[in-house]
Structure 1
């Protein structure tokens, strides 16, 4: 095992930088959270006084000691900040959405390859409790061959006056860019490239400026994958409904890691990522019908993989070709909705 410590620069210290990345980076001995970009605030120092402050992207990227940059800023900045970081010789992790389009994503992937740098997307939901549980059930053949897979990620957020860019009609805004990458990445990891993409992307909330609803159908020769999200679902417990040739699995509730991190609990507290029993799913099959205890969620393997890819040449867990596939499906979903057509992948 290498003794090298990677110096990290965070671009942005909002929800993602503060509650997702900083807690894991701060307790992982392979990383040193060196600098955070905050234009006027000093919230990074409130989290950890040893974190340095940069008042601009250029200031951060000029620091030759920074090895890897995490981009945790509004969606429309991801592409240009990532290009700048790669041009300055930094490895890069981009929050979702990775880019606005597949074409932008290709430019980033090609530049990273040209410069011999690691570039990946923060697809943390691969290490959610529910997804790990589903992967295990499928690997064990508990459902047989999947014929229908539905995943929902709903919230109840009526439109209220706010200055947040997340509720404004801005470039690379809206719910498909916000929650879509999570659902799509999970489905594509499980089932691979679909034959066709059919989608409805719309606004359902009174007064909404953004797309706040999507229904995406991925068609395969032997199964249908349905991915849905709405910001106007009061009872939003349901998450997964999976039917196979040998059984069904239904599960609700969200992974506990985000809510735990928001309580300022660091992920070195044990037990970590353990779901309460009321979120465990139900398996129904000829061999067994009953509640299935969820696997513990843990985002730390993502960070360990980034380190190992940079320092030891390991294969990325979230690979460039997987990122490009997700971006392409998002492009096709928007096009399908606008043109009211089934799109061939």
Structure 2
């Protein structure tokens, strides 16, 4: 796959796009893209959140499969519009929930598939940062409901997606949402607790005001516990100009590996120590998109599963507002 066209009216971004992708068409107005949609194979909607739904629908109506960035939409009703447009046009739709390919999450999936923790009891997951001053004018800091700003949408859309991907739909939601920073218009310090029919509890934290971050993940079962500190390295690597395929892409040094304590097998052989982190693999997302478009394979992320993420976000907002646990259908 290659980037064939980039749509932006911002002159600085146009220059940056031309420098990075010299063979791509730089288009100022999206209407030009729709007029020439037959020249392209896929539209990626990586815009401010309020444009995900209208641009996603327009792309599918122009005859293009669509990748839409997270959060898929601000509301379940808006997310359903995207699914309806996909069904009506026959165009594939998927959502860029790239943190399903984070190194820590891939490691947890590997441990669970090997049943190394026994029956699960609790899943804890955090994205915590320290940004004590709101960015004035930034759409992620906007109180406009259509902007889908704040930590619940920005980081929570990843954490909730990971929890639902592991455990399915929750049976209840409890949430706390706070505006801690002076001048904040949207939540910057939030917590979500999900109860699942299996009995598993997920506790999820997302914050802009954590000077010292807590554990990235802690997963407990009756036979073992896995805990992990630090963030997946891929985002920082991309910002530094590195690319998938570079040496050691997605890998981290031994001192950042997570810790596993468990009883293994029928003889209950005890293991307690560091365990190698599965390399992160963001490139697998678009490899699977390619296979879906050329070989008929499934898209990497089913948009109906992400609609459930938006349902949890909406329920969490109500829970935080009403200070109560809310059953979820």
Instruction: Give the corresponding residue for 2:216.
Output: 239
Q: CA RMSD in A?
A: 1.3
The aligned runs of 1:199-210 (5 Å cut-off) are 199-210=175-186
Instruction: Give the corresponding residue for 1:21.
Output: none
Instruction: Give the corresponding residue for 2:267.
Output: none
Structure 2: which 5+ residue stretches go unaligned? Answer: 264-269
Q: 1:162: Cα distance to partner?
A: 3.4
Matched, 1:49 2:22: yes
For residues 337 and 126 of structure 1, what CA distance do their matches in structure 2 show? 26
For residues 194 and 163 of structure 1, what CA distance do their matches in structure 2 show? 35
Give the 3-state SS of the residue equivalent to 1:33 in structure 2.
coil
Structure 1: which 5+ residue stretches go unaligned? Answer: 1-30
Instruction: Give the corresponding residue for 1:157.
Output: 131
Instruction: Give the corresponding residue for 1:35.
Output: 5
1:306 alignment partner, one of 281, 289, 310: 289
Instruction: Give the corresponding residue for 1:5.
Output: none
1:277 alignment partner, one of 232, 248, 254: 254
Give the 3-state SS of the residue equivalent to 1:209 in structure 2.
coil
2:309 alignment partner, one of 319, 326, 333: 326
* Number of aligned positions between the proteins: 315
For residues 143 and 254 of structure 2, what CA distance do their matches in structure 1 show? 39
1:336 alignment partner, one of 284, 308, 319: 319
Instruction: Give the corresponding residue for 1:19.
Output: none
Instruction: Give the corresponding residue for 2:114.
Output: 140
Give the 3-state SS of the residue equivalent to 1:205 in structure 2.
coil
Q: 1:164: Cα distance to partner?
A: 2.2
Give the 3-state SS of the residue equivalent to 1:238 in structure 2.
coil
Instruction: Give the corresponding residue for 1:294.
Output: 277
For residues 317 and 87 of structure 2, what CA distance do their matches in structure 1 show? 28
Matched, 1:60 2:43: no
Give the 3-state SS of the residue equivalent to 1:285 in structure 2.
strand
Query: What is the TM-score of this pair, normalised by structure 1?
Result: 0.88
For residues 296 and 69 of structure 2, what CA distance do their matches in structure 1 show? 22
Give the 3-state SS of the residue equivalent to 1:227 in structure 2.
strand
Deviation by residue 1:238-295 (Cα, 9 ceiling, x = unmatched): 2111111001111111111111111111212122100122321111124200011101
CA contact (8 A) 2:53 2:81 kept: no
Matched, 1:94 2:68: yes
User: Closer, same or farther in 2 for the Cα pair 1:218/1:161, shift >3 Å?
Assistant: closer
The aligned runs of 1:75-224 (5 Å cut-off) are 75-160=49-134, 162-170=136-144, 171-221=147-197, 222-224=199-201
Runs ≥4 residues deviating over 4 A:
none
